[in-house]
């Protein structure tokens, strides 16, 4: 049951297409506060990661920052994953572009990670249409049944986030992205997390976990992992260096790798932009419990690009620590002092709220909000020639 609904013709507007609204849309806390057409187009953000690597947590932090509300944090009624809409942002899960359903993948012997299981042509056309201000009838992949459900109507939002396995795989889709993020979980941590979830909580055997990881690895290495070279921001999750030979995966070392020179994106930094710094905030003014907190900031190259890297090892134990750290970071694109801390506290229940994953996801969220505002402002401004006349 391959998805067949294509993007609407270019003359069709969101308003005209509302009559074609489908089943799932009704169930949503749908609230488009600003039509993309009025604002002059949709800003498109891509978020790539393997499954189980924190995309949904990241999305909840991002939509919270973008939408300002907490509705986005609640899954849509009915429980199906998929399009999540909050304020100006619409999130599309790229699993909806599976061209093969579960039975089809099994028959052809491919995983969902393989490009053959995904319809990049349709993905491109629909994202292109949304970016141009045209609504689309997007297919729906039902994770519960493993089947493709009838499509739903998606209106062009001000901000479109496409998240999933392959937002940067296809060059044409990639070309539509105004900003892209890759969540890069190191194999040690992925393994520790799977042990925690599948063995400790679900009773799977160590062998079956290892086998499942091994089965996914070739396609992951070939089709998912290489996308990180295109990302404007990569959040890399690594074993801690604060505890020797740690294999618990509870204390994490997290790197935020930020591309230099990306449009509308200026990397956050620690103390002195462009220099190399290591910082242990715990000392005379801030006391921390074992194993402490350690930061680094340095320039680097990443797949041939100049990048700036922020690194945090350790975890926050107390609110003090979080505020202290925020107050020493610069260029965070916050609207007020303490906004990072406030966002982290608001989502204290989400995984990673006490470590670098939560911190850097929140910072990336703020940078994306800033970028969207810059793009929207730029598009709303009169062209230079007109401005000169006025």
Summarize as ranges the residues that interact with a second copy (CB under 8 A). Answer: 271-286, 298-299, 328
Residue 117: name the closest of 131, 132, 101, 103 by CA: 101
Residue 49: name the closest of 233, 240, 175 by CA: 233
Cβ-based nearer residue to a second copy, 141 or 265: 265
Residue 359: name the closest of 375, 379, 339, 378 by CA: 339
Least separation in angstroms between residue 48's CB and a second copy is 27
Concatenate the DSSP letters of all residues of 242-271 into one string.
SSTT--S-SSEEEEEEEETT-TT----EES
Cβ-based nearer residue to a second copy, 250 or 300: 300
Least separation in angstroms between residue 179's CB and a second copy is 21
Q: How far apart are the first and last CA of the chain?
A: 55
Compute and round to an integer the Cα radius of gyration of the chain. 21
Least separation in angstroms between residue 299's CB and a second copy is 5
126/120 Cα distance (integer angstroms): 10
Cβ-based nearer residue to a second copy, 65 or 270: 270
Q: What distances in angstroms separate CA 15 from CA 19, 134, 156, 359, one per listed residue?
A: 8, 10, 10, 39
Least separation in angstroms between residue 279's CB and a second copy is 5
Q: What distances in angstroms separate CA 73 from CA 57, 68, 268, 348, 355, one per listed residue?
A: 9, 11, 25, 12, 20
Least separation in angstroms between residue 276's CB and a second copy is 4
Contact by Cβ (8 Å): 190, 225: no
Cβ-based nearer residue to a second copy, 144 or 277: 277
Cα dihedral across residues 54, 301, 307, 330: positive or negative: positive
Q: What crossing angle do the helices spanning 187-194 and 206-219 adopt, rounded to 10°?
A: 140
Least separation in angstroms between residue 233's CB and a second copy is 18
Least separation in angstroms between residue 325's CB and a second copy is 10
26/33 Cα distance (integer angstroms): 17
Least separation in angstroms between residue 286's CB and a second copy is 7
11 class by beta-carbon count within 10 Å (0-12 exposed, 13-18 middle, 19+ buried): exposed
Cβ-based nearer residue to a second copy, 240 or 308: 308
Residue 88: name the closest of 137, 122, 39, 126 by CA: 39
Cβ-based nearer residue to a second copy, 169 or 269: 269
Torsion of CA 57, 115, 169, 219, to 10 degrees: 70
Cβ-based nearer residue to a second copy, 69 or 261: 261
Cβ-based nearer residue to a second copy, 98 or 255: 255
Cβ-based nearer residue to a second copy, 123 or 307: 307
Least separation in angstroms between residue 255's CB and a second copy is 17
């Amino acid at each position: 049951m391959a998805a067949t609904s294509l993007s609407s013709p270019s003359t069709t507007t969101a308003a005209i297409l509302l009559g074609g609204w489908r089943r799932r849309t009704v169930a949503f806390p749908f609230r488009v506060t600003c039509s993309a057409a009025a604002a002059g187009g949709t800003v498109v953000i891509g978020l790539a990661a393997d499954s189980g690597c924190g995309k949904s947590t990241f999305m909840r932090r991002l939509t919270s920052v973008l939408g300002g509300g907490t509705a986005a944090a609640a899954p849509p009624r009915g429980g199906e994953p998929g399009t999540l809409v909050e304020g100006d942002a619409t999130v599309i899960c790229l699993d909806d572009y599976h061209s093969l359903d579960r039975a089809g993948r099994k028959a052809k012997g491919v995983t969902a990670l393989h490009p053959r299981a995904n319809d990049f042509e349709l993905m491109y056309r629909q994202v292109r249409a949304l970016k141009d201000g045209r609504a689309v009838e997007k297919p729906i992949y039902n994770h519960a049944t493993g089947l493709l459900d009838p499509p739903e109507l998606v209106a062009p939002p001000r901000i479109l986030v496409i998240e999933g396995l392959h937002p940067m795989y296809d060059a044409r889709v990639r070309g539509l992205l105004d900003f892209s993020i890759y969540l890069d979980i190191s194999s040690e941590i992925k393994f520790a997390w799977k042990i925690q979830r599948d063995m400790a909580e679900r009773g799977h055997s160590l062998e079956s976990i290892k086998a499942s990881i091994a089965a996914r690895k070739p396609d992951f290495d070939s089709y998912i992992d290489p996308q990180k070279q295109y990302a404007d921001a990569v959040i890399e999750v690594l074993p801690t260096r604060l505890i020797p030979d740690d294999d618990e995966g509870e204390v994490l070392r997290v790197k935020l790798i930020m591309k230099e020179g990306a449009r509308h994106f200026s990397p956050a930094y620690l103390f002195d932009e462009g220099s190399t710094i290591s910082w242990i905030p715990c000392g005379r003014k801030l006391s921390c419990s074992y194993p402490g907190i350690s930061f680094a900031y340095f320039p680097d190259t990443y797949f041939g690009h100049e990048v700036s890297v922020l690194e945090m090892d350790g975890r926050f134990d107390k609110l003090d620590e979080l505020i202290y750290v925020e107050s020493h970071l610069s260029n965070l694109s916050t609207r007020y002092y303490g906004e990072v801390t406030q966002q982290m506290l608001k989502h204290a229940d989400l995984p990673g709220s006490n470590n670098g994953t939560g911190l850097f996801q929140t910072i990336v969220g703020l940078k994306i909000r800033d970028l969207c505002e810059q793009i929207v402002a730029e598009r709303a401004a009169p062209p230079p020639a007109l401005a000169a006349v006025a």
